[in-house]
Amino acid sequence: MTLVRFYKADGTLDKEVEAKPGRRLLDVAWAAKQPLEGACEGVMACSTCHVIVDKADFEKLPAASDEEEDMLDFAAHATRTSRLACQIFLTAEMESLTVRIPPSARNWLRG
Ligand code: FES
Protein backbone atom coordinates (compact mmCIF):
# COMPACT_ATOMS: atom_id res chain seq x y z
CA MET A 1 0.00 0.00 0.00
CA THR A 2 1.06 3.54 -0.69
CA LEU A 3 0.34 6.36 1.73
CA VAL A 4 -0.88 9.22 -0.44
CA ARG A 5 -0.87 12.68 1.08
CA PHE A 6 -2.91 15.46 -0.47
CA TYR A 7 -1.99 19.01 0.43
CA LYS A 8 -4.16 22.03 -0.26
CA ALA A 9 -2.91 24.89 -2.40
CA ASP A 10 -2.14 26.85 0.78
CA GLY A 11 0.27 24.14 1.91
CA THR A 12 -1.87 22.60 4.65
CA LEU A 13 -2.39 18.85 4.75
CA ASP A 14 -5.89 17.96 3.62
CA LYS A 15 -6.01 14.19 3.60
CA GLU A 16 -3.89 11.04 3.92
CA VAL A 17 -5.17 7.85 2.35
CA GLU A 18 -3.77 4.39 1.68
CA ALA A 19 -4.04 3.05 -1.84
CA LYS A 20 -3.13 -0.20 -3.57
CA PRO A 21 -0.42 -0.61 -6.20
CA GLY A 22 -1.77 -0.21 -9.71
CA ARG A 23 -4.25 2.47 -8.78
CA ARG A 24 -4.22 5.68 -10.75
CA LEU A 25 -3.55 8.79 -8.70
CA LEU A 26 -6.54 10.56 -10.26
CA ASP A 27 -8.88 7.81 -9.02
CA VAL A 28 -7.32 7.94 -5.56
CA ALA A 29 -7.82 11.73 -5.56
CA TRP A 30 -11.46 11.41 -6.56
CA ALA A 31 -12.09 8.82 -3.86
CA ALA A 32 -10.48 11.19 -1.36
CA LYS A 33 -12.79 14.02 -2.54
CA GLN A 34 -9.96 16.16 -3.81
CA PRO A 35 -10.91 19.11 -6.03
CA LEU A 36 -9.44 17.72 -9.25
CA GLU A 37 -11.84 17.80 -12.13
CA GLY A 38 -10.10 15.36 -14.48
CA ALA A 39 -12.42 16.50 -17.26
CA CYS A 40 -11.14 14.15 -19.95
CA GLU A 41 -10.98 11.18 -17.53
CA GLY A 42 -7.39 10.41 -18.37
CA VAL A 43 -6.95 10.66 -22.11
CA MET A 44 -4.63 13.68 -21.83
CA ALA A 45 -7.04 16.08 -23.47
CA CYS A 46 -7.19 18.52 -20.56
CA SER A 47 -4.94 19.58 -17.70
CA THR A 48 -7.56 19.66 -14.97
CA CYS A 49 -5.91 16.78 -13.11
CA HIS A 50 -2.69 18.77 -12.63
CA VAL A 51 -0.94 18.17 -9.31
CA ILE A 52 2.37 19.40 -7.92
CA VAL A 53 4.41 16.45 -6.71
CA ASP A 54 6.78 16.58 -3.75
CA LYS A 55 10.30 16.98 -5.15
CA ALA A 56 11.71 13.75 -3.69
CA ASP A 57 8.70 11.76 -4.89
CA PHE A 58 8.80 13.40 -8.31
CA GLU A 59 12.30 12.09 -8.89
CA LYS A 60 11.13 8.52 -8.26
CA LEU A 61 8.32 8.65 -10.85
CA PRO A 62 8.78 7.46 -14.42
CA ALA A 63 9.38 10.44 -16.70
CA ALA A 64 6.39 12.17 -18.25
CA SER A 65 5.64 11.42 -21.90
CA ASP A 66 5.86 14.16 -24.50
CA GLU A 67 2.04 14.23 -24.61
CA GLU A 68 1.88 14.77 -20.86
CA GLU A 69 4.51 17.53 -21.05
CA ASP A 70 2.48 19.21 -23.79
CA MET A 71 -0.67 19.20 -21.65
CA LEU A 72 1.23 20.51 -18.64
CA ASP A 73 2.16 23.53 -20.76
CA PHE A 74 -1.53 24.48 -20.54
CA ALA A 75 -1.77 23.99 -16.78
CA ALA A 76 -1.97 27.12 -14.64
CA HIS A 77 0.61 27.34 -11.85
CA ALA A 78 2.71 24.52 -13.33
CA THR A 79 6.05 23.95 -11.65
CA ARG A 80 9.09 21.79 -12.36
CA THR A 81 7.47 18.97 -10.40
CA SER A 82 4.03 19.20 -11.97
CA ARG A 83 2.39 16.05 -13.29
CA LEU A 84 -1.00 14.93 -14.52
CA ALA A 85 -2.67 12.77 -11.87
CA CYS A 86 -4.21 10.60 -14.59
CA GLN A 87 -0.74 9.55 -15.70
CA ILE A 88 0.62 8.47 -12.32
CA PHE A 89 0.11 4.86 -11.28
CA LEU A 90 1.03 3.69 -7.80
CA THR A 91 3.56 0.87 -7.54
CA ALA A 92 4.43 -1.60 -4.80
CA GLU A 93 7.78 0.18 -4.36
CA MET A 94 6.12 3.51 -3.57
CA GLU A 95 5.81 3.76 0.21
CA SER A 96 4.35 7.21 0.03
CA LEU A 97 3.44 9.89 -2.46
CA THR A 98 2.86 13.51 -1.56
CA VAL A 99 1.11 15.94 -3.88
CA ARG A 100 -0.31 19.44 -3.67
CA ILE A 101 -3.42 20.59 -5.46
CA PRO A 102 -2.55 23.76 -7.40
CA PRO A 103 -4.34 27.02 -6.55
CA SER A 104 -6.27 27.08 -9.79
CA ALA A 105 -7.96 23.74 -9.19
CA ARG A 106 -11.68 24.11 -9.44
CA ASN A 107 -13.66 23.56 -6.31
CA TRP A 108 -15.59 20.73 -7.86
CA LEU A 109 -16.06 17.52 -5.95
CA ARG A 110 -16.83 14.30 -7.76
CA GLY A 111 -19.34 11.92 -6.28
FE1 FES B 1 -7.48 15.12 -18.51
FE2 FES B 1 -5.66 14.00 -16.86
S3 FES B 1 -7.81 13.96 -16.72
S4 FES B 1 -5.34 15.11 -18.70
pLDDT band for position 28 (50/70/90)?
A: very high
Hey, how many other C-beta atoms are within 10 angstroms of the C-beta on 103?
11
Place domain 2-100 in its CATH homologous superfamily.
Beta-grasp domain (3.10.20.30)
Task: Determine the pLDDT at residue 82.
Answer: 97
Using a 6 Å CB cutoff, which residues line ligand 1?
Answer: 26, 38-42, 44-49, 71, 84, 86
- For 41-95, the pLDDT digits (tens) are 999 999 999 999 999 999 999 999 999 999 999 898 999 999 999 999 999 999 9
CA of 45 to the centre of ligand 1 (A): 6
Best CA proximity match to 85, nearest among 103, 104, 101 = 101
Task: Determine the pLDDT at residue 92.
Answer: 95
| Residues 51 and 83: beta-carbon distance below 8 Å | yes
Question: In the chain, what are the domain boundaries?
Answer: 2-100
Task: Determine the pLDDT at residue 111.
Answer: 43
pTM summary value:
0.92
